[in-house]
Amino acid sequence: MKDILLHYNTREEISEKAAAGYAVVIPLAATEQHGPHLPVFTDSLICEHIVTEAVRKAAGTVPLLMAPVLTIGCSQHHLSYGGTLSFTSATYLQMLRDIGESLVKDGFKKIIFVNGHGGNDPIMVQTANDLAVNHPIWVASTAYWSVSRAALSDVNAAEVGMVPGHAGGFETAAIMALKPELVRTDLINTTHVMREWLNSGLPGTFIGKHQELTGYDGYTDAPNKATAELGKVYLAAIANSVADWLVSVVQAMEKGREV
């Protein structure tokens, strides 16, 4: 694990890897309510697994280090349900900038954000833009569901509900695969009030309603079709897609003009 985890290295080893042109992958997650049946650490568990597996696969082709998972994100829209830790959007933006600035001072010139919580997405993109404007470095960002959309379609992930949704069939299947003992199966509902406007807009558009940004009762769809076996299939498809994306991004950076 030391080969891929930045935080398992000493300061001298990190400096050597920065000088050797390593890219640093920063996983972004959250600690927030996930309905009555999933742990509040759901996004962090899923994100850490996906990014660790993806970096492990990609590191055989391109030089990569994975930073510690940021387990608290911008989850203001979940606070009304309780069980949530959150930064405001302004605080989260500054925190991501500070992490990027730290890596720049450490000598790294390739920084990649991989997100696992929807509320982080616009702030992550803004941070990536700001870092690229302010420093002679390469920066990239994505959410795991964005680069794995085709792969998830190929394995028919939508059969269990909205993808990725929030605390619905998809995330429930993932946690069943990763930490089944944390799933309250006795509280899984077989029906759910769908909000048809959720994710219904054109790409690049947004529609939302006060206190319903997460769906009815804090989750988007009924999780009753989820199984651990399906979760393993979805997680593998995502990890492979993210690994392929990381390789393509780092190779593109290396082919580009030196900064």
In this predicted structure, the answer to whether residue 250 has a pLDDT above a threshold of 70 is yes
How many angstroms separate the Cα of 216 from the Cα of each of 59, 116, 179, 227?
41, 21, 25, 22
Model confidence at 172, in pLDDT bands (50, 70, 90)? very high
Q: 15-69, pLDDT tens digit by residue? A: 999 999 999 999 999 999 999 999 999 999 999 999 999 999 999 999 999 999 9
Cα separation, 169 vs 140, whole angstroms:
30
Which of 144-148, 186-190, 199-203 shows the lowest per-residue confidence on average (mean pLDDT)?
Answer: 199-203
* Three-state secondary-structure class, residue 242: helix
Sequence-separated (6 or more) residues with CB below 8 Å from residue 100: 111, 127, 130, 131, 139
Q: 219-246, pLDDT tens digit by residue? A: 899 999 999 999 999 999 999 999 999 9
Contact 174, 137 (CB under 8 A): no
Q: 12-21, pLDDT tens digit by residue? A: 999 999 999 9
- Residue 259: the pLDDT is 42
Q: Give the rounded percent of residues in the chain with a pLDDT score beyond 90.
A: 85
16 vs 194: which has the higher pLDDT? 16
Contact 191, 156 (CB under 8 A): no
204 vs 70: which has the higher pLDDT? 70
Cβ–Cβ contacts within 10 Å for residue 153, how many?
12
How many angstroms separate the Cα of 79 from the Cα of each of 74, 75, 116?
10, 7, 18
Contact 39, 31 (CB under 8 A): no
Give the chain's domains with CATH numbers: 6-255 (3.40.50.10310)
233 CB-side CA count, 13 A: 16
71 vs 205: which has the higher pLDDT? 71
- Residue 132: the pLDDT is 97
Average predicted confidence (pLDDT) for the chain: 93
- Residue 215: the pLDDT is 72
Q: From edge to edge, which strands make up the β-sheet containing 110-115? A: 64-66, 23-28, 110-115, 138-143
Model confidence at 11, in pLDDT bands (50, 70, 90)? very high
Q: Are strands 138-143 and 23-28 parallel, antiparallel or unpaired?
A: unpaired
82 vs 201: which has the higher pLDDT? 82
Cα separation, 32 vs 121, whole angstroms:
16
196 vs 187: which has the higher pLDDT? 187
Question: Averaged over 139-148, what is the pLDDT?
Answer: 97
